[in-house]
Every structure is written in structure tokens, then in C-alpha cells.
Amino acid sequence: MDESKIVHGIVIVNDRDPRESVVFNFRSWVAIIQAIMVKYAGKSEEEAKSLVLDSPLVEHALDGYMAIVVRSHELDYHFAMLLAHGEQYWQRGIDSDPPEGFWAWDKQYRKA
């Protein structure tokens, strides 16, 4: 993914109902997924960035209204673990639920 496309304030209009739209803060979404991979999956900053930029999850994030809806439906923690550990990571003993203290960390991280 070309990093110049990862910006805030992307407005995507629902192609089925042009009265509906969503604002996607792409840069924040990518940043939190990278931070979760560093904090909870033991990835380095460089490795997390590479995993994010090379993933179809990020590459196709702007493919339309439903692409954004799908990405906002799941927890950022899930996407981070998916990128860090692969499909069906939970079947390999990696918990799909955020660990204790995650929500406090998440809140603090988003304030920074």
C-alpha cells in the first residue's frame, strides 16, 4: 500500500444509497493496528508496519462503502492478531479476546 493513501477524513458514499456515507480515518486505523501488534503480538515497529502495508486488509480498505463497514465491524485487536499471526490464529492458541488491561491501554494510546 502506498503510504500517501493512508490519510484521515476519507469520505466513502454508499453506492446503494447515496444519502449514506462514512468518514474513515484511515491513518488512525492503521496506526492502532500497528501499535497493537507491537504491544500484544511482540512485533517490532518495522515488522508491524511492513505487515500492515503489505496486507490485503489494508490494500483493499478503500474498495467501497462495505469495505469500510466490514473494517469497522471487527475489533482492531482482531485485525492486529490476524496480520501478526495469520488466518484462524485462535485455533493455534492465540486468544481472540483482548487481554486484560487492553481497553485501558487502548484508551490511553488513542489520547496520545
As a whole number, mean pLDDT of residues 1-12 equals 93
Enclosing domain of residue 60: 3-111
pLDDT band at 68 (very low <50, low <70, confident <90, very high): very high
The pLDDT of residue 112 is 77
Residue 86, pLDDT above cutoff 90: yes
- Residue 96's pLDDT band (boundaries 50, 70, 90)? very high
Report the candidate in 94, 60, 53 with the shortest Cα–Cα distance to residue 77. 94
Q: What is the pTM of this model?
A: 0.92
**What whole-number distance in Å separates Cα of residue 55 and Cα of residue 47?**
12
pLDDT band at 64; cut points 50, 70, 90? very high
Q: How many angstroms separate the CA atoms of 100 and 112, rounded?
A: 20
Domain count, the chain: 1
Longest dimension (CA), the chain: 43
